[in-house]
Amino acid sequence: MALPPLRRAVLVAAAAVLAGLVIAPPAAVAAPRPPHVQGTRTVPVYDYSNAIRESVWVTTRLDNDGDGVPDKVAVDLVRPREAAAGRVPVIMDASPYYQCCGRGNESELKEYAADGTVTKFPLFYDNYFVPRGYAFAAVDFNGTSRSTGCGDVGGREEIEGVKAVIDWLNGRGRAAYADGTPARATWTTGKVGMIGKSWDGSVANGVAATGVEGLETIVPISAISSWYDYYRDNGALYTTDGGPHWLSGYVNGRPEEVCQPVRDAILTDSDNATGSFNAFWAERNFVPDARKVKASVFVVHGINDGNVEPKHFAQWWDALAKNRVPRKIWLSQEGHVDPFDFRRSEWVETLHRWFDYWLQDLPNGIMREPMSTIERAPDVWVNEPTWPARGTFTLPVSLGAGDGTAGTLNLTPTRPGTAVSVVDDPTLRERTLVANPNTPIAGRQVFLSAPLPRDLRISGTTTISLRVRVDKPNTELSARLVDYGTATRVNYQGSGEGIRTLTTESCYGASSPTDDACYRDTAKDVVMSDAAVMTRGWVDAAHRDSLSHPTPLQPGRWYTVNFDLMAHDVVLPAGRVLGLVLTVSDTQYTVPTSTGATVQVDLGRSRLGLPVSLAPGATALAETAVAPTVSAVNVTVPSTKMDRDLNRIPIG
């Protein structure tokens, strides 16, 4: 029997209400936060002394020691024991130095108990972050310490070995304890942040360039981005004896005979005889693979680093920017120094917030803050929205003949055909060639600006184009950009590369009976000087057109040679004088393949490309016909330990 319309309508409405009550999902209940998260930061709540400490060996897909067994990477781990911590992310420092050389300003090594249990980790990362709900992993490169395989210095073995650890942490790989029992990383979220200075940071760059899943962020400090550029500059050799074959042996933890064939192959393949770029170096160049990077990147570098030079961070940074990688950068006035030793409290706080954001998903706002932080003068830091400075462009600066003692830098092109000669003097040292620029010195040519009428910001990579005629089939060309003017400067070429180690200590994190969190304090090392070299660059003229295929010069013929100087960032105050110093071979920093040439430079067809910003002072190089008189009696110069003819060791 049909229902009356009114009753049918009431029943339909009631059914709709009832259906809504039945199918509506319950209100979402937020998952309880672990004890180490308070608000938007992690806090130290877990017992560091009682933390789980263990070692595992991760199996790789490689066998470069040729023993028929896959190479294994040793990983020493420390993590909270408390169940309330839940699954935790991992901070990782992969290094070749944990047993041979040590880490940090105090050269700390890993230490082990009699049963092989790791009892001490170098640096503060474990002490500080484990109580805050992180695990810390100290990874030994292949061929070092307790890992098998052989070190190949930036190559496939090194990168794939560390990548295998990240795969294992994300359930994609195999590992075992010392007794062979399988080890599974069920205690981690799989999120990994790599950090490290020098070689440690270099492998972080390389692993990020594989695009491995699970690597959420990297913090490369004074890190290499292309190993060719660590050992050579535009075909100019930095060393012949201390190349990657030597470095592989320096950190080797295997019996000598096991890895000697690998080192022999490295020596052959790196091609010291020509200084050319080839497949060996292409494998160790991470810059082209910046397009694969999925991790965020926090770059830290000294703009006066004479070991891992500023070109490494600059070319890596530019590639990351081109690929829109989330990033942040700190640039200091020091040399090859960890920020823990030049800006300790601010560094620990910033790093803490960085890892909390990327590894713990805490919305602390760090990515809304200025991208760039730069040390303008000793302990004077400024924040800026980007790097290089916004609005930077290349200002072409002409080279002029001047008054016969020093040439000029100005904006008016010199008349074509005006030439100067430089006769190579391989004995010249930087102290001599930079000092007293108005005094003629055989073997150099100096070009000076007028005193700057207002501040000048240089930000980025300076380029130079020289039109030259040479009386030999090959020669090296060297250039330095100099700041002439009295100032208190960071003594980056002193024994501490800009810092002094004090007798007092400060502590960051928790300690255990075998691993304390206290480190020697440091202070800025400064010097009053009348001039300082800002940036340098070299080129082997036979490599002028190609790094891979050198071609000799025909004596008497004119050639255009273009090359870059190291990246830099500086604000030169009004009244300073900008100088360009040209020399031929540089035996202090490089190992020239040819010396003794006479080089003519056509000033009218030579240029300096200066990266300046649109800030006041962008065109502050006043035109002048005669260079100003500059007396330099106290010049910041390199100490003997900075000479490039010594072995190159990227130790932090």
User: 221 and 203 in contact (C-beta within 8 Å)?
Assistant: no
The structure tokens listed for 344 are 């300790």
3-state secondary structure at position 451: coil
Residue 11 banded pLDDT, cuts 50, 70, 90: very low
Q: Which fold has domain 393-492+528-642?
A: Jelly Rolls (2.60.120)
Pairing of strands 215-221, 296-302: parallel
Q: Domain 38-384 carries which CATH code?
A: 3.40.50.1820
Could you tell me which of 54, 55, 59, 242 has the C-alpha nearest to residue 142? 59
Phi, psi dihedrals of residue 446, rounded to the nearest 5°: -115, 135
Q: Which of 285, 268, 260, 241 is nearest to 143 (CA)?
A: 260
Strand partners, 232: 237
| Kind of pairing between the strands at 518-524 and 499-507 | antiparallel
Per the CB < 8 A criterion, the answer to whether 546 and 498 are in contact is no
Predicted local distance difference test score (pLDDT) of residue 133: 98
pLDDT of res. 637: 47
For 159, counting Cβ atoms within 10 Å of its Cβ (0-12 exposed, 13-18 middle, 19+ buried), the class is buried
- From CA 183, how far away is CA 204, in angstroms rounded? 24
Q: What pLDDT, on the 0 to 100 scale, is given for residue 621?
A: 65
First-to-final CA distance of the chain: 91
Q: Return the bridge partners of 12, or none.
A: none
Residue 248: both structure tokens together: 């592989």
Looking at every residue in the chain, the average pLDDT score rounds to: 91
Q: What percent of the chain has pLDDT over 90?
A: 86
Cβ-based burial of 513 (10 A; exposed 0-12, middle 13-18, buried ≥19): exposed
Supply the pLDDT for residue 647.
43
Helix (H, G, I), strand (E, B) or coil at 202: helix
What ranges do the domains of the chain cover?
38-384, 393-492+528-642
Paired tokens of 535: 């940036």
Q: Which amino acid is at 81?
A: R
Cα–Cα–Cα angle for 598, 635, 436, rounded to 5 degrees: 50
The rounded distance, in Å, linking the Cα atoms of 270 and 256 is 20
**Distance (Å, whole) CA 103 – CA 200:** 10
Q: Identify the residue whose tokens are 């790789």.
A: 60
| 320: DSSP letter | H
**Strands 380-384 and 296-302: what pairing?**
unpaired
Q: Which CB contacts under 8 angstroms, 24+ apart, belong to 29-36?
A: 34/84, 34/85, 34/86, 34/133, 35/82, 35/84, 35/85, 36/80, 36/85, 36/131, 36/132, 36/133
Q: With contact defined as beta carbons under 8 Å apart, do 79 and 51 qualify? A: yes
Q: Please give the full DSSP string across 468-491, using - where no structure is assigned.
A: EEESSS--EEEEEEEEEEEEEEE-
Tens digit of pLDDT for each residue in 207-216?
Answer: 999 999 999 9
Whose CA is closest to 183, among 85, 65, 76, 61?
76
Please check the confidence at residue 20 and state whether its pLDDT lies above 70.
Answer: no
CB count in 10 Å sphere of residue 289: 16
Task: Give bridge partners of residue 136 from the DSSP assignment.
Answer: 78, 91
Q: For the chain, what is the total number of helices (H) and then of strands (E)?
A: 11, 30
What is the rounded CA–CA span in Å between residue 135 and residue 269? 39
Distances in Å between the Cα of 142 and the Cα atoms of 55, 71, 185, 406, 546 are 15, 8, 21, 53, 33
* Stated pTM of the model: 0.92
Provide the pLDDT for residue 514.
Answer: 96
Res. 450 pLDDT band, cuts 50 70 90: very high
Instruction: Dump pLDDT digits (tens) for 234-259.
Output: 999 999 888 999 999 999 999 999 99
d(CA 144, CA 258): 12
What local confidence, expressed as pLDDT, does residue 402 receive? 82
Query: Which residues, in sequence order, are bridge partners of residue 300?
Result: 221, 330
> Does residue 255 sit in helix, strand or coil?
coil
- Which stretches does DSSP call E strand in 5-117? 37-38, 41-42, 52-59, 72-79, 88-95, 111-112
Q: What is the DSSP string of 328-357?
A: EEEEESSSS--GGGTSHHHHHHHHHHHHHH
Please tell me the distance from the alpha carbon of residue 390 to that of residue 156, in angstroms, as a whole number. Answer: 37
Q: Which two tokens stand for residue 346?
A: 């601010």
Query: What are the structure tokens assigned to 177, written together?
Result: 């304890």
Give the H or E element holding residue 249: helix 244-250
Question: Which amino acids are annotated catalytic?
Answer: 198, 305, 336
Residues β-bridged to residue 476:
540
Q: Answer whether 612's CB lies under 8 Å from 458's CB.
A: yes
Which tens digit of pLDDT belongs to each residue from 344-398?
999 999 999 999 999 999 999 999 999 999 999 999 999 999 999 999 999 999 9
Which stretch of DSSP H or E encloses residue 248? helix 244-250
Query: How many whole angstroms separate alpha carbon 534 and alpha carbon 12?
Result: 83
Q: Which of 261, 239, 263 is nearest to 251 (CA)?
A: 263
| Type of residue at 436 | N
Using DSSP, state whether 133 is helix, strand or coil.
coil
Least-confidence region, from 352-366, 384-398, 399-413, 561-575: 399-413
For residues 448 and 481, give the distance between their C-alpha atoms in angstroms, rounded to a whole number. 10
Poorest-pLDDT segment among 3-7, 202-206, 432-436, 566-570: 3-7
Q: Are 125 and 93 in contact (CB under 8 A)?
A: yes
Rounded CA separation 197/205 (Å):
11
CA separation for the pair 107, 297 (Å, rounded): 26
Residue 614 burial (CB count, 10 A): 13
Q: Give the full edge-to-edge strand order of the sheet including 215-221.
A: 175-176, 52-59, 72-79, 135-140, 88-95, 188-197, 215-221, 296-302, 327-332, 372-377, 380-384
In this predicted structure, what is the pLDDT of residue 13?
39
In tens, the pLDDT along 481-523 reads 999 999 999 999 999 999 999 999 999 999 999 999 999 999 9
DSSP state of 226: B
**What is the pLDDT averaged over residues 575-592?**
96
Residue 411 has a pLDDT of 77
Give the pLDDT of residue 554: 97
| pLDDT exceeds cutoff 70 at 422 | yes
Per-residue pLDDT of 220-236, as tens digits, reads 999 999 999 999 999 99
- Closest among 75, 78, 55 to 135, alpha carbons compared: 78
| pLDDT exceeds cutoff 50 at 638 | no
